[in-house]
Amino acid sequence: MEAPFEDVTRGVLNAVREVEELAGRRILDGERIITPQTGDQGVDLYVSTSSAGGGLQMMVSGLVLQMTGESAQRAALGAGAIVMDVIALNDGRRPHEKIRRLRQLRPDMILLSGGTDGGDVRRVAEMAEIILAADPKARLGAGYRLPVIYAGNQAAAEVVTGTLGDRTALSVVANLRPSLEQENLGPARDAIHELFMEHVMAHAPGYKKLMTWSPVPIMPTPGAVGIIIEAIARRDRMSVVGVDIGGATTDVFSVFQGVFNRTVSANLGMSYSVSNVMAEAGIENILRWVPFAVDEIDLRNRVKNKMIRPTTIPQSLEDLVIEQAIAREALRLAFEQHKALAVGLKGIQSQRTISDIMSQTETGATRVDLLDLGLLVGSGGVLSHAPRRVQAALMMVDGFLPEGLTQLAVDSIFMAPQLGVLSTVHEPAATQVFERDCLVRLGTVLSPLGAGKAGQPCLSVEVLADQTPIQRRIPFGELALIPLPEQGRVRVIARPERGFDLGPGKGKPLEAQVNGGVVGLIVDTRGRRPFVLPTEPAERIRRLRAWNAALGLYAKEV
């Protein structure tokens, strides 16, 4: 939103006019959307999402960083916010440092949690006093009071209201951690959405008008993506991971064991943040995916030049390969951050049996189970616009290292957010459009767990397509591609050698119906737990080239 387009409804009207032209249907009456539809005019429903102003930026606070602090973070991220900082009593900072931080960051909203119901009131009051002393100013508009949501110990609600009620726009909702064993993020998430509409968006030019056009609340864009991912996971009864890799940020969404989680890696991306990917991953981790020698000084300069001129695109094949290597590392780092936050509740007293002790499981283990992952969906320019779809598939495989049998898809036009809002009104319509017009099915990847020596027998695969069944034996240390029909499903039987596991157990066969796709069935016997690339440069380059050739990754060898 920059001058002269400071009013968001200008952009919406322009977009609607284009739809009118493309669809040959009158939708606008002057500057009003015609709804409901009558005959060949108008639409049934107009829905909207918003990422204006850099999205919703929040600070969250809890008493204990690893417990209520983490629950509060999950609630804010799940609602589609960027979490700028988590402040907790035990975060190692002194009160005045916390106060200074609150002032500097100027969040759009604060979520204050802390304590289980009936627990200690004093420590919650202390957090509220810190917020009061900071007297943080909202980012947009000086004249409005900062929205604060209190979702902590209900016994402290009165004290918090007494401290913050006059100075902030405070709403009190149910505790997001009523007991150590229980997390209840729904009310806090709903309150975030509501305050986002009421306070934050209402101060952005044109939003008041836009809000009257839609009977459904305007949602933060990433929050809406989460809703459609949850709907798909529910419909297909499978675990789903979605990733949206942008220029500045990378969002990861997951549903495992029916629990939705979202994380935003605020400084991992392909243009504005590309240099930070290099800083965080380390240059050697980027170069491990590049099948030719690169001068480090030259690579560093290239990456910085992309950062300062973020809209450029790779022209040479070498440049494309380097960009896709960086994307692999951005995906890997974003997924690592996701795994660290998408965890079970910490701090629970659980009864442990001898076998629990033997398996060393702890509370707070990640919910992300790659063997259980059924569908991996990617979106964002580097994946959606990769010149060959197989490049997108391999970037996701290398970044996420899926295990067992996993379907791969890309969201080519990034319609998921709008479908997320639509699904709150009409879920079957939304999931149907998602499946038919939004998802491009790439195929399936089959990756056995286990390690071995290159060339040792690992896996035999049988694909029972229409007429001619295909049988392949794939030794350890390879990538292979078996074409599948683009539409429909085929039966696949995979028999791992002893010592390799596809999910049912070591050496046990896996039989499944898998979706076809434009890429096909990728068989990845490069090993998992651990996945290791050769460290010796000449050997690494030789292997990368062989894998690229096996999948037909590029038009020529690079």
Contact residues toward other proteins (CB under 8 A) are 2, 54, 95-96, 99-100, 121-123, 125-126, 129, 133, 159, 248, 267, 272-273, 275-276, 278-280, 296-298, 300-320, 385, 387-388, 555
From residue 101, give the alpha-carbon distance in Å to each of 71, 223, 236: 21, 26, 44
Q: How far is the CB of 5 from other proteins (least distance, A)?
A: 11
| Cβ closest to other proteins, residue 292 vs residue 429 | 292
* Contact of 550 with 479, CB cutoff 8 Å: yes
Under 8 Å CB-to-CB from 375, ≥6 apart: which residues?
A: 232, 236, 238, 239, 240, 241, 406, 407, 408, 409
Copy the structure tokens of residue 484: 């599948």
| Cβ closest to other proteins, residue 157 vs residue 191 | 157
Q: How far is the CB of 272 from other proteins (least distance, A)?
A: 5
Q: For residues 104 and 136, give the distance between their C-alpha atoms in angstroms, rounded to a whole number.
A: 8
State phi, psi for 550 to the nearest 5 degrees: -60, -35
Q: For residues 84 and 293, give the distance between their C-alpha atoms in angstroms, rounded to a whole number.
A: 38
3-state secondary structure (DSSP) of residue 182:
strand
| Cβ closest to other proteins, residue 33 vs residue 125 | 125
| Cβ closest to other proteins, residue 224 vs residue 320 | 320
Q: How far is the CB of 81 from other proteins (least distance, A)?
A: 17
Q: How far is the CB of 542 from other proteins (least distance, A)?
A: 23
| Cβ closest to other proteins, residue 97 vs residue 362 | 97
Q: How far is the CB of 372 from other proteins (least distance, A)?
A: 33
Q: How far is the CB of 73 from other proteins (least distance, A)?
A: 21
Q: How far is the CB of 52 from other proteins (least distance, A)?
A: 10
| Cβ closest to other proteins, residue 440 vs residue 523 | 440
* Contact of 180 with 187, CB cutoff 8 Å: no
DSSP 351-412: ---HHHHHHT--TT-BS--TTTEEEEEEESHHHHT-SSHHHHHHHHHHHH---EEEEEEEES
3-state secondary structure (DSSP) of residue 207:
helix
Q: For residues 220 and 80, give the distance between their C-alpha atoms in angstroms, rounded to a whole number.
A: 6
From residue 451, give the alpha-carbon distance in Å to each of 22, 48, 127, 498, 543: 54, 48, 50, 11, 16
| Cβ closest to other proteins, residue 267 vs residue 363 | 267
State phi, psi for 423 to the nearest 5 degrees: -65, -20
* Contact of 237 with 146, CB cutoff 8 Å: no
Q: How far is the CB of 253 from other proteins (least distance, A)?
A: 23
Q: How far is the CB of 9 from other proteins (least distance, A)?
A: 19
Under 8 Å CB-to-CB from 427, ≥6 apart: which residues?
A: 231
| Cβ closest to other proteins, residue 313 vs residue 425 | 313
User: Which stretches within 200-312 are classed as H helix?
Assistant: 207-213, 221-236, 274-281, 283-287, 296-308
| Cβ closest to other proteins, residue 236 vs residue 280 | 280
Q: For residues 308 and 315, give the distance between their C-alpha atoms in angstroms, rounded to a whole number.
A: 17
| Cβ closest to other proteins, residue 95 vs residue 483 | 95
Q: How far is the CB of 454 from other proteins (least distance, A)?
A: 30
Residue 514 one-letter amino acid: V
